[in-house]
Structure 1
Amino acid sequence: MVAERLSKTWFNLVHGRNIVYNQCWEDPRLDRVALNLTANDRVVVITSAGCNALDYALAGAGHVHAVDMNPRQNALLQLKLAAARHLDYEDYWQIFGRGRHENWDTLYPRHLRKNLPNDARVFWDRKGQLFSPQGRGRSFYFRTTSGTFAWLVNTYIDRVAKMRDSVNALLAADSVQQQKDIYTEYKLAAALWKPMIRWAMRRDITLSLLGVPASQRKHIDDSYPGGILQFVMDRVEAVFTKLPLKDNYFWRVYLTGEYTPDCCPEYCKPESYQALRNGVADHVTTHTNSVLGFLKQSEHPVTRFILLDHMDWLTRDPAKKILTEEWQGIIDRAAPNARILWRSAGLQGDFVNTLKVQVDGQPREVGSLLHYNPSLANELHSKDRVHTYGSFCIADLKR
C-alpha cells in the first residue's frame, strides 16, 4: 500500500502541471476504417495531443468534441487550431512538423496569442519556450513529459549504446526485410536492452513519463507473460522487424525529434492544413472535463466514442466505480447504433462486459449491450503502427 501511494504521488507530481502527450499515441489510420465517419457523426474523443481529433474532422466527421481533464492537452490542440487558421504553411510546419520555430518569440505574440482562448493564452505565455530552437533537444517532441522520456532514450542511444547509425539505417530502410536484417546484423536487441534499461522499464517512476500509471502497469503484469518488461521488448521488436517504418511517424518523431514531409500526421500535410484553414477547424471544439462530465452536460446524442486506453486506469477498486458511471453516461447519451472504440494494454479489452448499468430502469451488463466486431478489430490491430497496445476493440451499442 505504501509503494502504491508513493507511485500515485509521483505520477501526479510528474503530470500535475505538464503537457503529458506531445503527439497522439493511437493510430488514426485504423480509426478511420473502424469509424467510417460522415457529416452526420458527432464524435467524442479524449484530446491527448489533439492530432487525432483533427484527423477525424479531416476524415469528414460532422463535429469532434475533444475532451480532456488536463487543460494543458486542450491548450495544445487550441494552439494547433489557431496556427492552422492564422499562420502560413511554412510557419505551421516549422512548429508542428519540426517541433521548433526560429522566430517563435515574435511569431507567437504577433499571430497566435490573440487568437487563443484565455486559458490557452495563459499557458502558452508561460510555456512557449517548448517550441524554442534553443535548449534541450531543440524540439517540442523532446520536451513535455513523454518528450522527456524520448530525449532520455535518445541520449542512451547516442552516448551509451552508441547505436545512432543503426537506428538511422532502420528509419531509412526500404522494406521490412531490410529492417529485420539491420536489426539482426547490428544486434540491436542486445544493444538496447542492457540490464539498467531492463531495470528502469519495470519502475513506475520511468513509466509515469510515458503516461502509464501503476494501475495500467499492473493490468499488463497480470495479463501478459513476462509482465511489463517483456511486453515492451516484444512490441519494440515487432515495430522494428515486422512493420514498415517508412510511414511510421509515431516512432520516427521520438527517435529523431521531428517529422518529415513524407512521414507525419495528417494534420501536418499541406492539403490538410488548407482544409483546416478553409473551415474544417471549426468542426473541432475542446472541453476541459472528464468524459462523464462532458456527457452529463451535452444536449446532443453522440454517434462515435473514442476512449483511447484510459479505461485501463480504472479497472481496479475504487476507480472501477468511476468506470461504471462513465459507461452509464455513454449509454444515456449514445445515439442509436453508436460505435465505440477503445484500446487496452491487456490482451483482452472486453473487461468492461461485467459492469452493471441501467437501461430503461432495468439492470443490464455492458457486455449484453455491445456488438463486437472482432474480425475487423484484429485485422486493423495487426497493422497498428504504434503497436504498443495489447488489444483493440470496436463495438456497436445495441439496446
Structure 2
Amino acid sequence: MPSYSSTGVAPAPTASPSPALPAPRAGGPLAGRMFTALHDRKLVYNACWEDPALDREALGIVPDDHVLVITSGGCNALDYLLAGAGRVTAVDVNPRQNALLELKAAGVRRLAHAEFFELFGTGRSPRAGEMYRDALRQDLSPFARRYWDGHMDAFAGRGWRDSFYYRGTSGLLAKGLMLFLRHCKGLGPHLEELLDAPTLAHQRDLYESRRISDRLRSATRLASRPLALSLAGVPPEQRREIAEEYAGGTAQLVHDGLDAILGRLPLADNYFWRAYITGSYTPECCPEYLKAANFARLREALPRLDVRTATVTGHLTGAVDRPDVSKFVLLDHMDWMGWCDQAGLAAEWQAIVDAARPGARVIYRSAGLRTRYLDPVRVVHDGRTRRLTELLHRHPERAAALHERDRVHTYGSFHIADLP
C-alpha cells in the first residue's frame, strides 16, 4: 500500500493566480515562431540544466539570504533550500515550469521518499496516477491541477518515451539524440561503459580508445539544427550569440560540450547526463533534493519556498512590499532579451537594482563567451543614472574556474557579479 504522508505536513508554497494558457506571439521569422510556439504551449525543461554545486559556491548561501531564481525544472530552487537559504522565490513566465515545481513540492510533503524517488528519480511509476489522485493533486494551484490532470501519464513509463526525463520538449530532444547515438552510431554499449567507469582515468581511456569524439560529429550537427535547439529551449537570438562568438558555431559548441562531459569530467556524479542517457537517476547519482538523507530536512524547509508565475520584472515591480533579494539566479534568459528586447532588459535590471539588498550577488549564464548586450544598459542608482557594467563588480576569474567544472557544459560562459 502507498505510504502517503497525511499528517505533520508543511503548508503548500504560495502560488500566483493561475494564468490562462498563453498563445503564441505573432510575427518574426520561422525559427522564432517555432521557438515561441513550443515555449508558450509546452513544458520545456523536465529538470534544471544549471549545476547547483557551482551555484552554491558562487552564491555562498547563508540563512539570512532571500534567493530569487528562474524556476526552470524546479530542482535548483529546492537545492537552495537545502543549502540553507532563508527564503527562495521561484519565478517563471511559463506556468508549466511552475506546475512542475509545485508537483515536486507536493511530493516532498505528501509522499514517502521511496514513492517520491519513483516519480522523480526513476522517472516512472505504475502508481503515478494513484499517487497523484490520492496525495498530490490537493496541494496544487488551479493551473497546476489542470495541467497535471492531463499530463500525469508522463510518469507512467509507457511508450517509446518511457521516462519523465524523456518528456517535455527537452526530453523529446534527449530521447531522439540517444536513439541516434545508440542505434545509428552504435554508441549504446560505450555510453554504458563510460557511466560505469570506476575512475576518471578509466573513463578517459574508454573515451579515447573507442574514438567516441569522432563518432559524435554527426550527432552534434543534428543537435545544433534550429528545430533541435528550439526543443532544448534555445531561441534564435541565443543561436545568433553562439554563431557570432564561438568558433565553429553551435555545432562546435555542442561537440566541445559533449567532448568535455564524456572525456574530461567525471561521469560518476554527473546526474544531468545520466538521466538523459538512461532515463533515470540512481540513489547515488541524483540531485540533492532526491537523496533520502535530505528528504526530511527538505520537507521542513518547504514553507520557505514561494512560486510565482511572472517575468522577473513583473514579480519585482508588482510586489506589495520591497522583495529585499540578496541573491539572484538569472540563468541564461538575458541572451534573448539582449537581442530582441533591450528596453525590457534595462527595465529588468532597474527592477533588480531597486529590489536588491546592498551588496546583493547576481549569477547568470550565457551561450556566448561575452555578454555585450549589457553594455548599453543604464540604471538609476542612488539618484543618478549609471552604466550597469560600471555599477557591477564582477568576478571573472572565479566564474571561469567554476565554469570549467560545470557538469552540464552546455553554456559558453558563467558570470558572477555584485551590486554596490
Whether TM exceeds 0.5 here: the answer is: yes
CA offset digits 1:40-94 (Å, max 9, x no partner): 1111100000000000011000100000000000000000000000001110000
Mapping of residues 1-399 of structure 1, within 5 Å: 5-194=29-218, 197=219, 199-277=221-299, 279-298=300-319, 299=321, 300-317=323-340, 319-349=341-371, 351-398=373-420
Q: Distance in 2 between matches of 1:86 and 1:256?
A: 27
CA offset digits 1:122-171 (Å, max 9, x no partner): 11101111111212231000111100001101111222112110000011
Q: For the Cα contact (< 8 Å) 1:170–1:182, is it kept in 2?
A: yes
**Worse-matched range after superposition: 219-228 or 174-183:** 174-183
Q: Distance in 1 between matches of 2:279 and 2:223?
A: 21
Q: Distance in 2 between matches of 1:7 and 1:57?
A: 37
* Alpha-carbon shift at residue 4 of structure 1 (Å): 5.6
SS, match of residue 316 in structure 1: helix
Q: 1:357 to 1:109 in 2, by over 3 A?
A: same
Q: Distance in 2 between matches of 1:140 and 1:324?
A: 37
Q: Distance in 2 between matches of 1:6 and 1:309?
A: 22
Matched letter for residue 60 of structure 1: G
Matched letter for residue 325 of structure 2: V
Q: Distance in 2 between matches of 1:204 and 1:366?
A: 32
Q: How many residues align?
A: 393
**Worse-matched range after superposition: 198-207 or 120-129:** 198-207
Q: 1:202 to 1:269 in 2, by over 3 A?
A: closer
Matched letter for residue 315 of structure 1: G
**How does the TM-score come out when normalised to structure 2?**
0.91
Identity of aligned residues (%): 44
Matched letter for residue 302 of structure 1: V
Q: Distance in 1 between matches of 2:158 and 2:398?
A: 45
* Alpha-carbon shift at residue 201 of structure 1 (Å): 3.5
SS, match of residue 97 in structure 1: helix
Let me know the Cα RMSD of the aligned residues: 1.5
Matched letter for residue 226 of structure 2: D
SS, match of residue 29 in structure 2: helix
Q: For the Cα contact (< 8 Å) 2:220–2:254, is it kept in 1?
A: no
Q: Distance in 2 between matches of 1:112 and 1:285?
A: 18
SS, match of residue 81 in structure 1: helix
**How does the TM-score come out when normalised to structure 1?**
0.95
Structure 1 runs, 4 residues or longer, greater than 3 Å off: none
SS, match of residue 205 in structure 1: helix
* Alpha-carbon shift at residue 32 of structure 1 (Å): 0.6
Could you tell me which runs of 5 or more consecutive residues in structure 1 were left unpaired when the two chains were aligned.
Answer: none
Q: Distance in 2 between matches of 1:30 and 1:20?
A: 23
Q: Distance in 2 between matches of 1:112 and 1:295?
A: 29
CA offset digits 1:284-310 (Å, max 9, x no partner): 111000000001022221111000011
Q: For the Cα contact (< 8 Å) 2:339–2:373, is it kept in 1?
A: no
